[in-house]
Amino acid sequence: MNKTRFRWDFWSGITLLSIAVFALFLIYPLFSLFLSAFQDPTTGSWSMANFAHFFERKYYYQSMINSFSVTTCVTLLACIIGTALAYFMTLYRIHGRSIVEICIVISLLSPPFIGAYSWILIGGRNGYITRFLAQYGIDFPSIYGFAGILLVLTLKLYPFIYLYVAGAMKNIDSALIEAAESLGCSGMRKVVTVILPLILPTLLAGALMVFMNAMADFGTPMLIGEGFNVMPVMIYSEFINEVGDQANFAAAMAAIMVLITSTIFMLQKYVVNRKSFTMSSLRPMQTGAMHGVKNVILHASIYFLVALSMIPQLVVIYTSFLNTSGSIFVDGYSLDSYRTIFESLGTAISNTYLFSTTAMLIIIFLGMTIAYLTTRKKSWLTEIIDTLSMFPYIIPGSVLGITLLLAFNEEPLLLSGTAIIIIISLVIRRLPYTLRSSSAILYQLSPSMEEASISLGASPLRTFFKITAVMMLPGVMSGAIISWITAINELSSSIILFTGATKTMSVAIYTEVIRASYGTAAALSTILTLTTITAMVLFFKISGRRDVTL
C-alpha cells in the first residue's frame, strides 16, 4: 500500500548515480567494443571477419593457447605453493613469522612488472647470474618466454592463495580436527579428508583471482615474454598499431578474452555455490612445533620462498643507487638516477599520486554508498548494481582501457588524453576492493544500531552519516588503501590511456625499461615500492590486522 511508493530521496539519487556511472563508463564502452568487433574494418558492415581472421592465423590463435597454458600453469603452481605455505604457517611455529607475512604481502602488492624487469637484470642475457656463470663456461637457461612468465607470475601471485587459504585455516574450529582424530583419522588422511575439503571453496576463490590476474597481466609477458605472445600483449600491439584500421580486430580479440574470463568466472561461481558453507571457529587450531631435520627443512623452504619473492624488490632498490652510463650500470654509487627522474619525470610522480588519490576519494564515496544500497536496501535495482560492480573482475585492464578509449574518443564525450579518463579507469577497476570491504563490515553491523538512531529522531540520511558511516570507516579505509596501492601500480589500462601529460610512474617505468634506461626505471620502482610499503604499514595500523584480504 505504501511500501512500494517511490520516494525521491538521497538513496534513490545514489542508486541512479551508480547505475549511471556503470552504464556510462562500463556498459556503454563494453557494448561499443563488442559492436565494433563485429564490424568489418574496411566496409563497416556487420561481419564475423575479425573473428575468422583471428582463428585462421596461427600467429593470432597461438596467443590464446599461450595465454591459456601459461595462466593454467601459474594458477596450479600458485595454488600448490600458496596452500602448502598457508598450511605450514598456520599449524607450525615459524620463527620470524610476522616478517615472513609482511614480505609475502609486499611481493603481492608491488608493481607487477617489476618482477619481470628484475629477473631480467638477474638472469637475462646480460644478467648478474648469467654473466657470473659464463665466467666458468656455464650456460644459464633462458629466462625469457614461457618459463620466465611462469616464474615471475607464480612468485607474484601465490600470495593471493596464501592469504585466502590462511584466512580459511584460521576459521577451522579445532573441534572439527579433534572430531576427525577421535574417529581414528590422522596424518595425511586428515589433511585430505577434512582440511582440504574445508578450505576448498576459499581455495577456489583464490584460484579465480590468480587466474584472472595472470590472464590479464600485460607488463610481465611484454617484458620477459619475447617471442612467447599472449593475448593482452597481442591486443595491445594490434591496438596501437597505426598501420591500417586495426581497432576492430583488437576489439574482436578483446571480446574473445572477455568471453574466456567470464566463462571461467561463471564456472567458478557455479562450483563454489554448490560447495559453499560458512565456518566460524570458536577455537582456532593450535600451532605446534616441528623438530629436528624436518624443522630445519621447513624453515629453509619458507625462507627460500620468501627470499625468492623479495629478490625483485631488493635488486631494484640496489640498482637504483648505481651509477649508470647509458643503459649499463657502472661502478660506484650515487643518487644520479633519482636526480634524473625528478628533473625529467617529476610530473609522472605527481600524476600518480594525484590520479590515485582522486580515484580513491571517489571510490570511498561510491564504495560506502553502493555497499549500503546493496546490503540494506535490497531491490532489483540494487541487485543490478551489485552484479555490475563485479564486472571489473572479469575485464582485463587493457581491455577496459581500449573500451574507454574507443567510447570517449569523440565529441560530445571527448575524454581521451585527459586525466579524467585515467581516473575513471582507476575508479572502475579498483572500486571492488573498497566495495567488498565495506559490505563485509556492514554485514557485521547490526541494523538495530541504525534503527536506534532513527527511533531517537535522526533522519535516515543523518543516521547514515553520523552512525553507519562512522562505524563503517575502519572497513572502508582498509579497502580504500588496497584500492589506492593497486591504483598507483596500475599499468595495463594506463598504458593505453596515457598521453605525454598524463604519464604515471608505472607507465614511466615501463617506457624507461623499454628504452633500456634501467637506472631511472629502478629509481622510479623504488619510489613506488616504498610508497606501497608505507601505505601498507598505514593499512595494518588502521585495520589493526596483520593480514590482507582481497
Partner 1 sequence: MSVAIHIDNVIKRYGNLTIIPGLTEEVHNGEFFTLLGPSGCGKTTLLRMIAGFNSIESGEIRFNDQCINDLPAHRRNIGMVFQSYAIFPHLTVRENVEYGLKLRKIPRDEMKKKTDRILDVVQITEYQDRLPERLSGGQQQRVALARAIVIHPSVLLMDEPLSNLDAKLRIEMRSAIREVQKQVGITTIYVTHDQEEALSISDRIAVMKKGEIQQTARPHTIYTRPYNVFVATFIGHSNLFRGRITRTGSSAAVVFNDGWTLPMQGLSSEAADGQEVIIAVRPEEFSIQPAGQGITCQVHSQVFLGKYINYGLTFPSEMLVEGQAAIEYSQDLGHAEQILSVGDTVTLRPNPAKINVFSADGSHSLMEGVVRNE
Minimum distance from CB of 376 to partner 1 (Å)? 12
Beta carbon nearer to partner 1, 417 or 474? 474
Distances (CA, A) of 38 to 128, 298, 337, 406, 544: 48, 55, 47, 15, 51
Minimum distance from CB of 368 to partner 1 (Å)? 16
Q: Which region among 20-28, 153-161, 255-263, 467-475 touches partner 1 (by CB under 8 A)?
A: 467-475
Beta carbon nearer to partner 1, 282 or 456? 456
Alpha-carbon gap, residue 550 to 536, rounded angstroms: 13
Alpha-carbon gap, residue 220 to 510, rounded angstroms: 10
Minimum distance from CB of 457 to partner 1 (Å)? 5
Residue type at 127 in one-letter notation:
G
Beta carbon nearer to partner 1, 308 or 470? 470
Q: Does 45 bind partner 1 (CB under 8 A)?
A: no
Q: Does 454 bind partner 1 (CB under 8 A)?
A: yes
> Side-chain half-sphere of 482: how many Cα atoms within 13 Å?
24
Beta carbon nearer to partner 1, 75 or 468? 468
Q: Does 463 bind partner 1 (CB under 8 A)?
A: yes
Rounded to the nearest angstrom, the gap between the alpha carbon of residue 433 and the centroid of all alpha carbons in its chain is 10
Distances (CA, A) of 110 to 42, 123, 155, 395: 42, 20, 11, 21
Q: Does 457 bind partner 1 (CB under 8 A)?
A: yes
349 in Cβ contact with 527 (< 8 Å): yes
| Helix 231-240, helix 397-407: angle, nearest 10 | 30
What's the helix, strand, coil split of the chain in %, to 5? 75, 5, 20
Q: Where are the beta strands (DSSP E) in 277-360?
A: 322-325, 328-333
Residue type at 95 in one-letter notation:
H
Q: Does 456 bind partner 1 (CB under 8 A)?
A: yes
Site string for partner 1, 1-40 (x = CB under 8 A): xxx-------------------------------------
Beta carbon nearer to partner 1, 1 or 289? 1
Let me know the angle formed at the C-alpha of 359 by 354 and 365, rounded to the nearest 5 degrees: 135
Subset of residues 423 to 452 that bind partner 1, contact rule: CB under 8 A: 446, 448-449, 451-452
Minimum distance from CB of 468 to partner 1 (Å)? 10
Q: Where are the beta strands (DSSP E) in 412-542?
A: none
Minimum distance from CB of 545 to partner 1 (Å)? 18
Q: Does 544 bind partner 1 (CB under 8 A)?
A: no
443 in Cβ contact with 66 (< 8 Å): no
Minimum distance from CB of 9 to partner 1 (Å)? 10
Q: Does 453 bind partner 1 (CB under 8 A)?
A: yes
Minimum distance from CB of 363 to partner 1 (Å)? 23
Minimum distance from CB of 475 to partner 1 (Å)? 13
- Count of residues binding partner 1 (CB under 8 A)? 21
480-515: burial string, b at 16+ Cβ within 10 Å, e else: bbbbbbbbbbbbbbbbbbbeeebbbbbbbbbbbbee
Beta carbon nearer to partner 1, 1 or 243? 1
Subset of residues 469 to 498 that bind partner 1, contact rule: CB under 8 A: 470-471
| Residues at the interface with partner 1 (CB under 8 A) | 1-3, 446, 448-449, 451-460, 462-463, 467, 470-471
